[in-house]
A = this chain, B = another copy of it.
Amino acid sequence: MNDDRLSVLEQRLKDVEDRLEIMNLLASYGPLVDSGDADATAALWTENGEYDVPGLHMRSREDVRSMVRSASHRKLIESGSTHFIGPAHIAVDGDRAVAVCESVLVLRDGDSYRILLSGSHRITLARVEDEWKIRHRITRELNGDPHARELLSPTNIAES
């Protein structure tokens, strides 16, 4: 009977650890992309992971790396950028997980700061060789676009 209790505890604790590992991964995106580290940012995704943002659909780590190394991203971070991402709602189901959150992108602009955009995100993660990685992330601008709102809906929160 103690064996059963132990097994249940081990599984519950594993679930908790999964959730905390995913929270930590999500919290590292902003710092890494604002530090300009292309390799570390790309390593958050699976090898063929997708990152779909307005105007650009990346389909691999290599694509993410190129985005971080691009002249336009370098310009952002050299002016001063903050990819500020809020706490996510996370649903874990075995080796898959879905996280939903919002963000603001803040830019230095002369002597002040301004919000360049505010976004909704739906992020699908997978456990790959014992590590959580982003398999698919879609970002849309919260500018009234109904599709941006839809990413935040309970259906998207619940389904993996």
Given contacts A6-B9, A9-B9, contact A144 B32 (CB under 8 A): no
Closest to A6 in B: B5
A-B contact pairs, 26 of them (CB 8 A): A5-B10, A16-B20, A26-B87, A27-B101, A28-B100, A28-B157, A31-B152, A32-B152, A34-B102, A34-B120, A37-B153, A77-B144, A77-B149, A79-B143, A79-B144, A80-B143, A82-B118, A83-B102, A84-B104, A104-B113, A108-B144, A112-B115, A113-B115, A113-B116, A113-B118, A115-B115
A68 to chain B, nearest CB (A): 12
Closest to A36 in B: B149
Given contacts A78-B144, A79-B144, A80-B141, contact A100 B9 (CB under 8 A): no
A153 to chain B, nearest CB (A): 4
B142 touches A89 (CB 8 A): no
Quickly give the copy total for this chain.
3
Complex Cα distance, B82 from A42, in Å, reads 27
* Residue tally, chain A, CB below 8 Å to B: 67
- Within 8 Å CB of A154, what residues of B? 32, 35, 37, 40
- Within 8 Å CB of A153, what residues of B? 31-32, 35, 37, 40
A42 to chain B, nearest CB (A): 12
Return the CB mask of A123-152 against B: 1 if under 8 Å, else 0.
000000000000000000111110011111
A57 within 8 A of B: no
A19 within 8 A of B: yes
- Within 8 Å CB of A80, what residues of B? 118, 141-145, 148
